[in-house]
Amino acid sequence: MLGVFGLKIGLIGVGTIGGFLVKRIQEDSSLELCFVLDIDPEKVKDFSEDIVINSISEMGAKKPDLVIEAASQQAIGQYAEHVLSTTNFLVLSVGAFADKGLEEKVKGLCKSNGTKLFAPSGAIAAIDLLKAMQSELEEVEIVSRKNPKGWGREDSEKTIIFEGTAREACKAYPKNINISATVSLNGIGFDKTTVKLVSDPDCGGNRHTLNVKHAFGNFVLDVKAQPTKNPKTSSTAAYSAFDLVKKIQNGINIF
Ligand SMILES: NC(=O)c1ccc[n+]([C@@H]2O[C@H](COP(=O)([O-])OP(=O)(O)OC[C@H]3O[C@@H](n4cnc5c(N)ncnc54)[C@H](O)[C@@H]3O)[C@@H](O)[C@H]2O)c1
């Protein structure tokens, strides 16, 4: 039985990030994992039968306070309506919102149901300052460098593989572009945010540089993290998602 501040969590996608979240949730006595859903039966075979669901229509009986998507961009389109009709939704595959139709639909669902959509800063940071300065932003650029494998390529030397808007980048590299989407949603949008993607055999990790100019100055953020066993996924993304779960539960206080 959870206390007054306990949170019942449903998880869609038990892969690299989802697996990390399961462990953290199970270690925290104020959190309860009330369901897991994955299209791959292998991923849920070790969970007790009473928390595995095979379809989102079984979600209601579990009464989650929060559902986390750590699956794929398609999963957001597939499940958002069902989840947001009764509870809050924390999504990792933020690149899905490069689809304007989906962004509008999800905004409408939150408004009409009084539910909320959350997205962690993920593999980037400084989203708090970006959002705080949203009305004063002049230029926002994100440069992402990964080992060729992280882009699904085999370059033997440094290659700029994409330059354009965040909306175009999300379409061209849908599985790699959650950072551009997170920056766009918290900043000047998908059509004004510029993106450069670099495939670099020597970069030794996933590195993201955020360059922001606003009415009163500028800031530059440079983050580097080792990829997880999924070369497209930075290790920090899962930590950031769990931190957001705790903020939803406890607010933004540090103690
Ligand atoms: N926001 C960020 O900064 C950030 C960072 C890294 C990854 N991501 C995104 O998070 C998501 C998860 O990443 P990962 O590395 O854990 O991926 P992963 O491939 O390791 O795991 C995904 C899991 O979801 C399951 N799945 C896929 N589609 C599904 C669906 N429609 N319904 C139910 N289950 C489904 C898969 O079977 C798999 O078990 C990806 O979309 C990835 O792009 C976001």
Ligand 1 lined by 237 (C-beta under 6 Å): yes
* Cβ atoms of 65 and 49 closer than 8 Å: no
Q: What is the pLDDT of residue 7?
A: 96
* Cβ atoms of 248 and 118 closer than 8 Å: yes
Instruction: Decide yes or no: CATH 3.30.360.10 for domain 127-230.
Output: yes
Rounded to whole angstroms, the Cα distance separating 4 from 162 reads 49
Which is the closest atom of ligand 1 to the Cα of 230? Answer: 15
Question: What average pLDDT values come out for the chain (255 residues) when binned by 10 residues?
Answer: 76 96 97 98 97 97 97 96 97 94 97 97 91 97 93 94 95 85 96 97 91 98 84 80 95 79
Q: Which of 145, 167, 208, 232 is catalytic?
A: 208
Q: What is the pLDDT of residue 116?
A: 97
Q: What is the pLDDT of residue 167?
A: 94
Rounded to whole angstroms, the Cα distance separating 140 from 218 reads 10
Q: What is the pLDDT of residue 233?
A: 66
Please confirm, yes or no, whether 214 is among the known catalytic residues.
no
Q: What is the pLDDT of residue 227?
A: 76
Instruction: Decide yes or no: CATH 3.40.50.150 for domain 7-122+236-250.
Output: no
- Which sign does the torsion angle of CA 197, 233, 249, 111 carry? positive
CA of 181 to the centre of ligand 1 (A): 15
Q: How far is CA 223 from the centre of its chain?
A: 16
Q: What is the pLDDT of residue 2?
A: 53
Rounded to whole angstroms, the Cα distance separating 220 from 166 reads 18
- CB < 8 Å & 24+ apart, contacts of 148-157: 148/199, 148/200, 148/201, 149/231, 150/176, 150/199, 150/206, 150/227, 150/231, 150/232, 151/176, 151/197, 151/199, 153/199, 155/199, 155/200, 155/201, 156/201, 157/201
Q: Where in the chain is the domain with CATH 3.30.360.10?
A: 127-230
* Cβ atoms of 90 and 69 closer than 8 Å: yes
CA of 44 to the centre of ligand 1 (A): 14
Identify residue 164 by its one-letter amino acid code: G
Q: Where in the chain is the domain with CATH 3.40.50.720?
A: 7-122+236-250
Name the closest-CA residue to atom 40, ligand 1.
72
Quote the DSSP letter at residue 234.
B
> Whole-angstrom distance between the N-terminal and C-terminal Cα of the chain?
23
Name the closest-CA residue to atom 33, ligand 1.
38
What's the pLDDT tens digit per position in 143-194?
Answer: 999 999 888 899 999 999 999 999 999 889 887 789 999 999 999 999 999 9
Ligand 1 lined by 71 (C-beta under 6 Å): yes
CA of 38 to the centre of ligand 1 (A): 10
